[in-house]
Chain A
Amino acid sequence: GDSVTQMEGPVTLSEEAFLTINCTYTATGYPSLFWYVQYPGEGLQLLLKATKADDKGSNKGFEATYRKETTSFHLEKGSVQVSDSAVYFCALSYDKVIFGPGTSLSVIP
């Protein structure tokens, strides 16, 4: 069945470091891909999305590119801030959303 795999962390970075969180998916068709972020004690927020191959989603300095050939949707940010500390979920969807296990990110000053 369809599934999402992502590095589970926790990931700890210093402020202004470069961030990559790897995400790969298994799907029978061509789903939309998403990154959601969950700050402590909060619900999930949609961070960015891409609906077809080679699309790049971007928001708040985060980017991810829909790579059909490698079935990947890696999240990147050039310079992380303490306020980026959260759990990040990669997800795919045709209709219902299937979440990856989440990656906890801690950014230290």
Chain B
Amino acid sequence: DAMVIQNPRYQVTQFGKPVTLSCSQTLNHNVMYWYQQKSSQAPKLLFHYYDKDFNNEADTPDNFQSRRPNTSFCFLDIRSPGLGDAAMYLCATSAQGSGDGYTFGSGTRLTVV
């Protein structure tokens, strides 16, 4: 089945140690999103790509970076994780203009120790 896959499901990192979360998709969607979600609150959009065009939300901290080397893969880099960055990170994709909504991955739960 076509899907969005996030690895790993659980990630533990040390305070201040860079960490990378990955997302891949087999849907061939041109738009990819990264969300941060804390404690079953509404997901908060960090940034998204239209194809290779990167769009950063105004309130996304500089500590968060992203790369999209091709259509299928997208990475979230946290340069210096703090305790406040512990959260579920969700990747989602959509086909621009389709009106079909997003397809989400299962998420990566990040713990900072």
> Hey, which bits of chain A sit against chain B, CB under 8 A?
32, 34, 36, 38, 41-46, 49, 51, 87, 89, 91, 93, 95-97, 99-102, 104
Tell whether A99 pairs with B102 under 8 Å between CB atoms, given A43-B107, A44-B90.
no
Contact B99 A32 (CB under 8 A): yes
- Chain B's closest residue to A6 (CB) is B42
Tell whether A32 pairs with B41 under 8 Å between CB atoms, given A43-B107, A96-B48.
no
8 A-B pairs closest in CB distance: A43-B104, A99-B42, A43-B107, A44-B104, A43-B106, A34-B101, A32-B99, A87-B40
B60 CB within 8 Å of chain A: no
Interface size class of B (residues with CB under 8 A): 20 to 34
Q: Which residues of B contact A32 (CB under 8 A)?
A: 99, 101
B20 CB within 8 Å of chain A: no
**Alpha-carbon distance A36/B104, docked complex (angstroms):** 10
Contact A43 B40 (CB under 8 A): no
